[in-house]
Structure 1
Amino acid sequence: MAAARGGGPGGEERDRRAHGAALAALGFAGRAAAILGPSETPAAPMPTAIDPAGIHVHLSTREARLDETDRGGLARRIGTGDYSYAFAMRGFIEGLARIGVPHTILPDPAGIADIRDRSPAACNIHLAFYPPEQLRLLKGAFNIACAAWEFDRLRLPAETLDPHAFADQATMLALPDMIWAPSAHGAGAIAASVATPVRTVPSPVSATLRAGGGLPTAERIAAIAARLAAISWQPLAIFPRLQGEMNHTADLHRHALADILAHAGTATPTIFVTVLNVHDYRKQIRPMLQGFAEFSRSRPDALLLVKSSTPARGVQPINSFLLAEQIFDVGELSRPLVSDRVWITDDVLTRTEMDDLYDVAGFYVCTSHAEGQNLPLLEAMGRGVVPVSVDHTAMADYVRPDNAVPIRSHRRPFDKRLSRRYGMFGLETHFVDPADVRAALAAAMALPPGDYAARAAAANATVRDLYGEAALLRALREAIELARRRDADG
């Protein structure tokens, strides 16, 4: 333990006693006795609440903390590999701040010899936000891997072709003291392969119900569109054999949201929104685009806004990225997908602009094969946006008929495209057909105002109840207890 924290005569002795008392208060009797001596060590039961003075949470991820007010910084990171772990860490940082638990972000936990030499806390907890293959531990801390997983099992050793020593997922996830997975489905898939304790502990999500509670009014839509004037949208324009010409035409038809609404043909369109990384095959956006384009022919008052992300924005037109990453499949003839009712942007939005994007929408659409938590959907629900969504994997925890319009899905074997991307074989996942999307869209737009308002309030309440501070407090208490037992066992 670093010895210079006291400051002045008797300072070191005061520090020694305070640190020993904090250890004892948290139940770390062995470590307290080593500092105070058996005669000075008080007997104290494990507290039912967390004493912020007794613990310190250290958080780390491969990327630095996100500054969601910095558009330039976001542009360099949004869409890069595993960038969503930084967003998950953001939720824990905000949750820890709300419950008053001291915390620090560590840029390089593996480079610290022993955190107890730097931290005066009785209990140091490390929340590590990494994919399993890149996990980093903090020596001297109780290490918790915050690992998201979406499929039914981890990758098998036979499927791990990388010769790197850290490549096997189950081997890496056996290293931490505990694993927090953000969904019950992911926790079950991980627990089947490791002996490490696994718990369902999702990233906390803010639940701030937007004003009104019902579908956005024409006045509210116009006000938000004015605030989003800097964001450029272009129409869905995919035509495989003429894609170069389609890209040029789509670029000529770039508009701000206010211009799109002015030519929508209706004073108050019903706006649907979705958020995705264009390179993420799990998103399964093709049936969404096909289903919406077909649906909007009979309901031109419906608009879909697609907020996409890619680290190569500006290098290639976004419609070309959609074609290559989400539409094209070997052995199939890709059909044209053109619609002036589907608008796409790959611009970078700040946190305030993302909240505005959610608030302008009546519904959030999700057709994913599988998800680990799906933070954009939860963020939208927290603001009272009603999901039109599949209800499997992570979404099974929070998408229900009383707070959403579920989209029917079907379990089928991985196709070649998914097997090639994720290197896994013999698995099933969830598929959606365009007809299922059309049916759900029609059901959503047929909701009476009172029914919509009830589902919007239920969506907000679901996020508040399941993704608030209470779940984080329970998880931290258990982690402290396990750390205490580990200390007692030597």
Structure 2
Amino acid sequence: MNFILYSDVNDSSISQSLGRPEYSYYFVLKAYRPVLESLGRVHVVAATAEVDPLYRQLHAAGEDCLFLSFTPPQKTPDDLECPTICVVAWEFDSIPNEQRDDDPRQDWTQMLARQGRVITLSSHTARAIRRAMGEAFPVLVLPTPLWENFADIRSRHTSAPINPGSTLDIKGCIFDSRLLGLSADDLLPKPLMAEQLAEIEALRPPPLTLKRRFVIARHYLRMWALDLGKTQPEPVHRTHFLKLWYWEGVHDLFSEAARERLAGYLPAIASPLPVVVPEPVPLDLPDTTARVETQVDGVVYVTVFNPLDGRKNWHRLISAFCWAFRETADATLILKITQSDLSSYYTELMTLLAQLSPFACRVVVMHGYLDDPQYARLYEAASFYVNASRCEGLCLPLMEFMASGKPVIAPNHTAMEDYIDEDVAFVVKSSEELTIWPQDTRIIYRTLRYRPDWGSLKAAYENSYRMAKERPQDYQRMSRAAIERMHDYCAFAPVQQRLSDFFGLAPQAPMPVAVTDNASC
């Protein structure tokens, strides 16, 4: 069997693609690849246009082929000769089941029916698909096999509830709440100084005396006449100067009713001037090309997310931490950001931290791309991993920290229900809420996600901290349980067996490889 694989993001573009809507599919492809290689030959293509030529070549040689599309169904081609299967990461309780925008691919039921089967990353997604396609529709639930990837970390590092001191580095920038001088007072508007008031007053135009109205009229009428004298006057300018004269020179002489009538009779002249939006003041952002480092210790919480991903609920994750440890100096929260554009979230994040200040705990923000050794240090530095998402398609970072032996704080809804319970986590309570399908431009509420309870999240922080400080034996028990859970859930052998049974292929020798992760899938 030949497996042809495609994802919108590839090895050469991943470091520039952090934050793109489907960039996490790249990591799923990379994790699946060794399992697929144990069942046949793997070909990774850079574009879907390469699929059918490769299929024809292999089919002519008498070899079977299957195209695995690591993209959502609406972005998967529906006109290929090669048999196609989508690998679907989905976090809602229903799938798009109607055509819109004259695009039949927006109806996932049509796409999946044409393909005849599907691979999903979680039981939650499988249930959503079967509700739409019928219980008999072939669905393979296949988590990414990543347990073996963390064997080196497990062999050299034993998780500890209290970090004695670790050095973290990144190519990018680091923000430390203890060095930012945060203050909620800085968010209040400052009264203007006398010099500033004088400058504003100096910029005010002089009063509209009869003489000034005459000067304004003479200027704009002269410009209008000069424009009319051109051999090929610009059509816009024929009324442009008259409009400026009206608004600057005589607009205030008319009553509101008269102005409305004039706007109706002479819209080119008396209609309102276009609103000019001033250019935003550029942010004074740090250099993100240098290699920087920081030291962390104490009880260290880590989370990985994209601030532009509305699922991640990161405002509440941070606020619950700062309130739980408002007077606790040795609690640290590390935010590893998977978004390449610092300006897209900087103001929002810094405003939140300023609103929460003062707090004794520490918040460290890491912006940039981590390679394997850098990520390994982050895994080892953590006491706990935190997730407060409204919904998840799989959540690779959560699984990876668990495979490294880290207990977690997380809800047990959507994909996380497959591997989160009280043996491995401080479970955050949550309840259902209405939401939209992300790609639905109509913004119609027709599916469900979850609302994590803020009080439960704050209590999970407090209870995990007490465990770390007072019950290290319970921490070690939870650490071992996390490793065992990931072994049972996403080790290479059981994933390989599921895949071989689904395709009816005989497995060969396993070939697990490491996966560098900056994903939030």
TM-score (normalised: structure 1)? 0.71
Choose the corresponding residue for 1:320, options 333, 337, 347. 347
Indicate whether 1:461 and 2:461 are aligned: no
Backbone CA RMSD of aligned residues: 3.6
Structure 2 matches for 1:439-454, cutoff 5 A?
439-447=459-467, 448-454=471-477
Q: 1:189 to 1:243 in 2, by over 3 A?
A: farther
- Structure 2: any 5+ residue segments left out of the alignment? 191-281, 507-521
Instruction: Give the equivalent residue in structure 2 for 1:233.
Output: 175
Q: Percent identity?
A: 23
Instruction: Give the equivalent residue in structure 2 for 1:123.
Output: 64
Instruction: Give the equivalent residue in structure 1 for 2:519.
Output: none
Larger Rg: 2
Q: Aligned AA for 2:463?
A: A
Q: 1:358 to 1:238 in 2, by over 3 A?
A: farther
Conservation of the 8 A alpha-carbon contact between 2:434 and 2:446: yes
Q: Give 1:231 deviation, angstroms.
A: 5.0
Deviations along 1:298-349, whole A, 9 cap, x unmatched?
3221110011122423x45x4324489xx7xxxxxx9923456222122222
Instruction: Give the equivalent residue in structure 2 for 1:425.
Output: 445
- Structure 1: any 5+ residue segments left out of the alignment? 1-54, 68-72, 262-267, 328-333, 484-490
Q: Aligned AA for 1:128?
A: S
Give the secondary structure class of the aligned counterpart of 2:368: coil
Give the secondary structure class of the aligned counterpart of 1:233: strand
Q: Distance in 2 between matches of 1:194 and 1:458?
A: 36
Q: Distance in 2 between matches of 1:337 and 1:172?
A: 47
Instruction: Give the equivalent residue in structure 2 for 1:12.
Output: none
Structure 2 matches for 1:49-448, cutoff 5 A?
55-64=1-10, 66=11, 73-97=13-37, 99=38, 101-113=40-52, 115-119=54-58, 120=61, 122-136=63-77, 139=80, 141-157=82-98, 161-194=100-133, 196-205=137-146, 206-208=149-151, 209-210=153-154, 211-215=156-160, 218=163, 221-222=165-166, 224-225=167-168, 232-235=174-177, 242=187, 258-259=294-295, 261=296, 268-313=297-342, 315-316=343-344, 318-322=345-349, 336-338=355-357, 339=359, 341-414=362-435, 423-447=443-467, 448=471
Q: Aligned AA for 2:5?
A: L
Q: 1:481 to 1:456 in 2, by over 3 A?
A: same
Q: Aligned AA for 2:475?
A: Y
Conservation of the 8 A alpha-carbon contact between 1:361 and 1:385: yes
Deviations along 1:380-416, whole A, 9 cap, x unmatched?
11111111111111110001111122112122334x9
Q: 1:239 to 1:279 in 2, by over 3 A?
A: farther
Q: Distance in 1 between matches of 2:355 and 2:302?
A: 22
Instruction: Give the equivalent residue in structure 1 for 2:232.
Output: none
Instruction: Give the equivalent residue in structure 2 for 1:330.
Output: none
Q: Aligned AA for 1:59?
A: L
Q: Give 1:110 deviation, angstroms.
A: 4.2
Give the secondary structure class of the aligned counterpart of 2:30: helix
Q: Distance in 1 between matches of 2:77 and 2:439?
A: 27
Conservation of the 8 A alpha-carbon contact between 2:91 and 2:392: yes
Farther off after superposition, 117-126 or 444-453: 117-126
Q: Give 1:368 deviation, angstroms.
A: 0.5
Instruction: Give the equivalent residue in structure 1 for 2:271.
Output: none
Q: Distance in 2 between matches of 1:244 and 1:342?
A: 25
TM-score (normalised: structure 2)? 0.67
Q: Distance in 2 between matches of 1:431 and 1:409?
A: 5
Q: Aligned AA for 2:314?
A: I
Q: Give 1:249 deviation, angstroms.
A: 10
Q: 1:145 to 1:444 in 2, by over 3 A?
A: same
The size of the alignment, in residue pairs, is: 397
Q: Give 1:255 deviation, angstroms.
A: 11
Q: Give 1:145 deviation, angstroms.
A: 1.0
Q: 1:475 to 1:106 in 2, by over 3 A?
A: farther
Q: Aligned AA for 1:113?
A: D
Conservation of the 8 A alpha-carbon contact between 1:110 and 1:136: no
Conservation of the 8 A alpha-carbon contact between 2:45 and 2:51: no
Q: Distance in 1 between matches of 2:331 and 2:62?
A: 55
